[in-house]
Structure 1
Amino acid sequence: MMNNEQATDKLQYLLGTLRDGEKGFSEAAEHADDPKLKSLFSERSAQRAQLAGEVEAKIASLGDKPREGGSVGAALHRTWLNVRDAVTGRDDYAVVAEAERGEDTAIQNYQDVLDDKELPADLRAFVETQYAQVKASHDQIRDLKHSMKPD
């Protein structure tokens, strides 16, 4: 069975992922031209902030403090950091494509945590609930990208 420290490590990893998405979606919202996209990305940024808050509360309930960034966070941040460079002066299709890439990473990170057989049942249920929301977001952005044609 996983001890508390291992459990909080998993949560810190997801926290980095969520903080990353929060920043990335905020960047994407700034660079999108279409008001609908702007509002979608702003809403996603807020969603990630909310999920991150839930993870922080869970970490605190396990007796640890949420980390700011950290090594995993830094690596993840690079995924979304490309967003700013990739989307500056580019069309909405490029912004959506970068958002999808960020979401691919988020999905992978949640799957990594869920793949751990020793994840305690209550924690697994918590992570699965969040994963469902992240997955729905990913799928919507993927479908949006496929519905757009690159200029």
Structure 2
Amino acid sequence: MMNNEQAIDKLQYLLGTLKDGEKGFSQAAEHADADSLKTLFAERSQQRGQFAGEVAAKIQSMGGDADKGGSVGAALHRTWLNVRDSLTGKGDYAVVAESERGEDVAIQNYQDVLNDAELPAELRSFVEGQYTQVKVSHDQIRDLKHSMKPD
């Protein structure tokens, strides 16, 4: 069974992923031209902020320090790479494609945590609840990308 510290480390990893997504979606909203995309990405940014708050509260309830930030693992699994640089003036398709890429990594990071057989049951159901919503978001953005034509 994983100890409390290992469990907290798993949550720190997700917290880094969520904070990264919150910032990434916020930047995507700034760079999108279509109002519908601006709205979608702003909502996703808020969602990730909310999830990050839930994870931070969970870390603190377990005696961890949520302000410590993610471990090395999170830095290696950046969900959004320099969004601002890569998207300036690139058009909506590029913003959606980058968002999908960010969501791919977020899903992978959640799966990494859920694939650990030693994750305590109570934490597993908490993480699965968020994962389900992240997956819905990913699939929506993927389908949106496929419905668009590259500029």
Normalised by the length of structure 1, the TM-score is: 0.95
Aligned to 1:74: 75
**Taking every aligned residue pair, what percent have the same amino acid on both sides?**
74
Instruction: Return the alpha-carbon distance in structure 2 between the equivalents of residues 39 and 26 of structure 1.
Output: 10
Segments of structure 2 that go 5 or more residues without pairing to the other structure are none
Instruction: Return the alpha-carbon distance in structure 1 between the equivalents of residues 73 and 40 of structure 2.
Output: 27
Q: How does 1:88-127 map to 2 (within 5 A)?
A: 88-127=88-127
Report Cα offsets for 1:20-59 as digits up to 9, x if no partner. 0000000100000000000100000000000000000100
Shift of 1:83: 1.8
Asked if structure 2 preserves the Cα contact closer than 8 Å seen for 1:97 and 1:145, the reply is: yes
Segments of structure 1 that go 5 or more residues without pairing to the other structure are none
Q: How does 1:2-151 map to 2 (within 5 A)?
A: 2-66=2-66, 67-77=68-78, 79-151=79-151
Instruction: Return the alpha-carbon distance in structure 2 between the equivalents of residues 75 and 32 of structure 1.
Output: 27
SS where residue 100 of structure 1 aligns? Answer: helix
Q: What RMSD, in angstroms, separates the aligned Cα atoms of the two structures?
A: 1.1
Alignment length (residue pairs): 150
What is the letter of the counterpart of residue 105 of structure 1? Answer: V
Asked if structure 1 preserves the Cα contact closer than 8 Å seen for 2:9 and 2:71, the reply is: no
What is the letter of the counterpart of residue 129 of structure 1? Answer: G
Instruction: Return the alpha-carbon distance in structure 2 between the equivalents of residues 13 and 84 of structure 1.
Output: 23
Shift of 1:70: 4.2
Shift of 1:82: 2.9
SS where residue 81 of structure 1 aligns? Answer: coil
Report Cα offsets for 1:53-105 as digits up to 9, x if no partner. 0000100111111123542333344x413322221111100000000000000
SS where residue 117 of structure 2 aligns? Answer: coil
